[in-house]
């Protein structure tokens, strides 16, 4: 590489600074920094006229030209050389401080992974394989670059031997996804059992592909990166000491990358929240390695106990996803709360422990912010809660208990905004149940429009879906003849009337369970399911006290 002066208007994203840049006698950027769109804007705002950037030497340019001339008979190889994206350009899209923390602060590390990648790309087979992956699925390609970078640097810090050899395995760990149908690879919804079984095959496919190109010695990284330390992983169900350290390291970073990277249909989560999510499954991973990885990144989840650089201990109270390296902490000896300074004169040195909150503790926090009317914090803990429960469980373990709180505090006007927010979240949950529930039978809900939009009615609708009964909602103005025709057509097993006064139904040739549930009784019925698991819920028994008439009358 050589260094040449370049006008500011000629700069592009991905260029690398060839000399330290000084503005007004102060260093603005170090040599080797990657120019991003934000940095280019900053340089223009500082009225910088030109900078020095790295460009290939004449020897390097001649080498590329020579390869181009030699491969003119083979357009595919030629296009592969030209089209292969520059590593630093890909890294610029991935390595924001919000995700990488302190991992790429050292310019020597950036140069190390860049040079390693470029060395690999001198090999035609490796280059062709990676380009094929990029063309097949851009996300998997970017994930490969991400995992390669983080895993290589973390392995370097951990003193993994033969690192340059294993790093190639980090890069190609997901190469087997080339043999997974794209419609499964890119599916937005949850995979079916059959689709997931197909997806799992990518580990064996990756192993086979790497063997074919002479990389049998590192093919185990592709095959084993979904093993788990408790033996619950695949494809071989290995456990504890059966899993090499290189795999333990790779599987950890594979998870971190997948959780924090953005996808068109899934918003990425912040690095601190990702760490908290990973800690919830720490029994699947090497816990000592996980703690070291947290220190390596330097981004700590909320509620972790840390050692500060002044020798004191603190609790991480809050992490701003935009500035995760500067959390709000509570010093344990003085109980004072403050933000870590921007100049890093005081910083976190080490993770001492991380406390995983139980569902009950999360619900108490959720309830606390709900009662205070703090919608933003309420929603934050709501999302933490739903990660621990299925949609079905959310009905009885989150929504119904929350509605009980509202019932007690219904006189508080300040809760109205939170009530609206809750109704919106509940509507989404009911919609998910409607789409995903495998109903075995149906029931008619005879209800007027005013009650239909109420929270208790939505909750009862959710309970029926949870018990695999599809509620068919009919307005009270519907004639009895039409109502019974619908009941016959849907093969309904019951009719639940939500009218204040019960009007007996006659004229059906089907045996129907008839229930009369007034508005006041509706709350009592819904509350009876609070906190229950799906197995504990006995809907038929709960409805018995609301039974009206059971008879068979022939037309």
Indicate the pairing of strand 21-23 with strand 26-29: antiparallel
Residue 257 in any domain: the answer is yes
Q: Which of 43-52, 224-233, 392-401, 512-521 has the lowest mean pLDDT?
A: 43-52
The b/e string for 31-67 (b: 16+ C-beta within 10 A; e otherwise) is ebbbbbeebbeebeeeebeebbbbbeeeeeeeeeeee
Look at residue 551 and tell me whether its pLDDT is greater than 90: no
Across residues 25-34, what is the average pLDDT? 69
Number of domains in the chain: 4
pLDDT (0 to 100) of residue 81: 42
Look at residue 38 and tell me whether its pLDDT is greater than 70: no
Provide the β-strand partners of residue 318. 328
Cα 527 to Cα 221, 378, 397, distances in angstroms: 51, 21, 11
Q: Which of 22-36, 167-181, 193-207, 450-464 has the lowest mean pLDDT?
A: 22-36
Residue 453 in any domain: the answer is yes
Query: For residues 31 and 121, which has the higher predicted lDDT (pLDDT)?
Result: 121
pLDDT (0 to 100) of residue 489: 86
Look at residue 99 and tell me whether its pLDDT is greater than 60: yes
pLDDT (0 to 100) of residue 380: 78
Same domain, 333 and 408: no
Residue where a domain stops, chosen among 227, 242, 268: 268
Query: pLDDT tier at 386 (50, 70, 90 boundaries)?
Result: confident
Residue 44 in any domain: the answer is no
Residue where a domain stops, chosen among 268, 299, 334: 268
Query: pLDDT tier at 430 (50, 70, 90 boundaries)?
Result: confident
Same domain, 173 and 297: no
Distance (Å, whole) CA 243 – CA 246: 8
Same domain, 235 and 91: yes
pLDDT (0 to 100) of residue 269: 81
**Nearest residue to 1 via CA among 16, 21, 20:** 16
Same domain, 326 and 292: yes
Same domain, 118 and 242: yes
Please state at what angle helix 87-94 crosses helix 138-157, rounded to 10 degrees: 90
pLDDT (0 to 100) of residue 429: 84
Distance (Å, whole) CA 406 – CA 366: 13
Same domain, 281 and 263: no
CATH for 254: 1.10.3210
Across residues 470-489, what is the average pLDDT? 87
Domain that holds residue 258: 86-268
Q: What is the pLDDT of residues 493-534, one digit of tens each?
A: 888 999 887 776 655 555 788 899 988 899 999 999 998 988
H or E element at residue 23 = strand 21-23
Q: Six-digit token pair at 484?
A: 């019974």
DSSP state, residue 399: I
The answer to whether the CB of 486 falls within 8 A of the CB of 552 is no
Query: For residues 516 and 388, which has the higher predicted lDDT (pLDDT)?
Result: 516
Q: Which of 44-58, 327-341, 519-533 has the lowest mean pLDDT?
A: 44-58
Look at residue 26 and tell me whether its pLDDT is greater than 70: no
Residue where a domain stops, chosen among 239, 268, 297: 268
Same domain, 401 and 523: no
Look at residue 540 and tell me whether its pLDDT is greater than 80: yes
Query: For residues 488 and 12, which has the higher predicted lDDT (pLDDT)?
Result: 488
Distance (Å, whole) CA 187 – CA 430: 22
Query: pLDDT tier at 29 (50, 70, 90 boundaries)?
Result: confident
pLDDT (0 to 100) of residue 59: 39
Q: What is the pLDDT of residues 146-164, one digit of tens each?
A: 999 999 999 999 999 999 9
| Backbone φ/ψ region at 134: left (φ over 0), alpha (ψ -120 to 50), beta | alpha
Average pLDDT, the chain: 84
**Nearest residue to 387 via CA among 362, 406, 409:** 362
Q: Six-digit token pair at 266?
A: 């899934």
Same domain, 288 and 256: no
pLDDT (0 to 100) of residue 280: 84
Across residues 353-361, what is the average pLDDT? 81
pLDDT (0 to 100) of residue 143: 95
Residue 365 in any domain: the answer is yes
Residue 157 in any domain: the answer is yes
For tokens 């357009």, name the residue: 75
Alpha helices by DSSP H, listed for 241-374, are 245-260, 271-279, 287-297, 359-372
Look at residue 58 and tell me whether its pLDDT is greater than 80: no
The answer to whether the CB of 151 falls within 8 A of the CB of 125 is no
Beta strands in 32-79 (DSSP E): 50-55
pLDDT (0 to 100) of residue 76: 42
Q: Which of 69-78, 102-111, 474-483 has the lowest mean pLDDT?
A: 69-78
Same domain, 483 and 535: yes
Residues present in the chain in total? 555
Phi, psi of 343 (to 5 degrees): -80, 0
Same domain, 159 and 237: yes
Same domain, 293 and 250: no
pLDDT (0 to 100) of residue 27: 65
Phi, psi of 292 (to 5 degrees): -65, -35
Is the sign of the CA dihedral 541, 542, 548, 551 positive or negative?
A: negative
Give residues with Cβ within 8 angstroms of 70, minimum separation 6. Answer: none
Q: Which of 68-77, 132-141, 167-176, 446-455 has the lowest mean pLDDT?
A: 68-77
Query: pLDDT tier at 481 (50, 70, 90 boundaries)?
Result: confident
pLDDT (0 to 100) of residue 555: 39
Residue 49 in any domain: the answer is no
What is the gyration radius of the CA atoms in the chain, in angstroms? 30
Distance (Å, whole) CA 445 – CA 452: 10
Residue 50 in any domain: the answer is no
Residue 413 in any domain: the answer is yes
Q: What is the pLDDT of residues 111-134, one digit of tens each?
A: 899 999 999 998 888 998 999 999
pLDDT (0 to 100) of residue 503: 72
Same domain, 153 and 178: yes
């Amino acid at each position: 590489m050589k260094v040449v002066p370049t006008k500011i208007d000629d700069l592009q994203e991905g260029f690398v600074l060839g000399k330290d840049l000084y503005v007004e006698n102060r260093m603005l950027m170090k040599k080797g920094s990657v120019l991003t769109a934000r940095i280019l804007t900053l340089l223009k705002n500082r009225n910088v006229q030109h900078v020095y950037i790295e460009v290939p030497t004449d020897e390097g340019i001649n080498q590329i030209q020579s390869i181009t001339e030699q491969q003119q008979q083979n357009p595919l190889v030629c296009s592969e050389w030209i089209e292969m994206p520059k590593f630093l350009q890909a890294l610029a899209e991935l390595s924001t401080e919000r995700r990488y923390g302190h991992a790429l602060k050292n310019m020597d590390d950036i140069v190390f992974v860049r040079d390693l990648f470029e060395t690999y790309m001198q090999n035609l087979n490796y280059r062709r394989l990676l380009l094929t992956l990029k063309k097949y699925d851009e996300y998997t390609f970017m994930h490969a670059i991400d995992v390669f970078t983080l895993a290589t640097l973390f392995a370097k810090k951990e003193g993994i031997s033969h690192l340059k050899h294993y790093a190639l395995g980090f890069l190609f760990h997901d190469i087997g996804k080339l043999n997974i149908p794209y419609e499964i690879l890119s599916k937005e919804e949850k995979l079916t059992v059959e689709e997931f079984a197909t997806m799992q095959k990518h580990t064996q496919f990756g192993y086979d592909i790497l063997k074919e190109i002479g990389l049998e010695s590192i093919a185990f990284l592709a095959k084993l990166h979904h093993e788990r330390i408790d033996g619950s992983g695949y494809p071989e169900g290995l456990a504890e000491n059966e899993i090499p350290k290189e795999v333990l390291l790779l599987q950890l970073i594979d998870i971190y990358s997948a959780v924090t990277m953005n996808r068109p249909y899934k918003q990425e989560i912040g690095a601190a929240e990702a760490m908290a999510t990973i800690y919830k499954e720490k029994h699947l991973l090497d816990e000592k390695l996980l703690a070291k990885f947290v220190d390596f990144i330097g981004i700590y989840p909320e509620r972790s106990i840390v050692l500060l650089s002044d020798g004191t201990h603190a609790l991480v109270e809050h992490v701003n996803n935009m500035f995760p390296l500067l959390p709000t902490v509570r010093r344990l000896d003085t109980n004072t709360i403050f933000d870590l300074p921007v100049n890093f004169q005081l910083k976190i040195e080490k993770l001492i422990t991380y406390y995983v909150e139980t569902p009950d503790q999360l619900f108490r926090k959720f309830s606390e912010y709900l009662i205070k009317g703090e919608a933003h914090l309420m929603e934050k803990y709501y999302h933490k809660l739903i990660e621990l429960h299925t949609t079905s469980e959310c009905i009885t373990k989150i929504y119904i208990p929350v509605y009980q709180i509202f019932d007690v505090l219904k006189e508080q006007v300040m809760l109205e905004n939170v009530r609206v927010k809750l109704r919106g979240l509940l509507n989404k949950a009911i919609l998910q149940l409607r789409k995903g529930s495998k109903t075995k039978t149906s029931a008619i809900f005879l209800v007027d429009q005013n009650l239909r939009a109420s929270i208790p009615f939505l909750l009862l609708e959710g309970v029926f879906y949870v018990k695999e009964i599809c509620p068919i909602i009919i307005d009270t103005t519907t004639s009895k003849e039409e109502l019974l025709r619908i009941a016959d057509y849907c093969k309904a097993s019951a009719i639940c009337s939500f009218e204040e006064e019960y009007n007996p139904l006659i004229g059906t040739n089907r045996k129907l369970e008839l229930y009369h549930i007034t508005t006041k009784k509706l709350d009592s019925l819904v509350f009876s399911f609070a906190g229950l698991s799906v197995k504990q819920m006995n809907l038929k028994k709960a409805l018995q006290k609301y039974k009206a008439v059971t008879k068979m009358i022939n037309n």
